[in-house]
Amino acid sequence: MFRQIALAGAAALTLAACTAHENRVGTGAGLGAAAGAVVGAATTGDVEGALVGAAVGGAAGAIVGHVTDRPGYCYARDQYGRTIVVECPPGY
């Protein structure tokens, strides 16, 4: 059972994306699926519960990742190498 849960989580985490928005949605979906699989397996004690939990958690995580994005803002680095959020340049 652990192997199947691990495979479902690994499959969810392989979501690759190109932009920051897609990375945010993909990360949210992956983390949501992993958490949902753990909760589903713990609640039901079987693989079906883990798969349902992964599906629900993945969908919820993708939604949260999507709505928490800040359109019009970009990530940049300051002179010390720290990541900061700034307004995107025109046309970006």
pLDDT tens by residue, 13-72: 554 434 565 677 788 888 889 989 999 899 888 888 899 999 998 888 888 877 676 777
Residue 8 has pLDDT above 70, yes or no: no
- Contact predicate 31/21, CB 8 Å: no
Residue 2 has pLDDT above 70, yes or no: no
Please list the residues that pair with 77 across neighbouring strands.
83
Torsion sign (Cα): 47, 7, 9, 66: negative
**C-alpha span between 71 and 88 (Å, rounded):** 9
Residue 71 located in a structural domain: yes
Domain that holds residue 31: 2-87
Q: Which of 67, 66, 85 is nearest to 75 (CA)?
A: 85
Residue 52 located in a structural domain: yes
Residue 92 located in a structural domain: no
**C-alpha span between 13 and 26 (Å, rounded):** 8
Structural domain count of the chain: 1
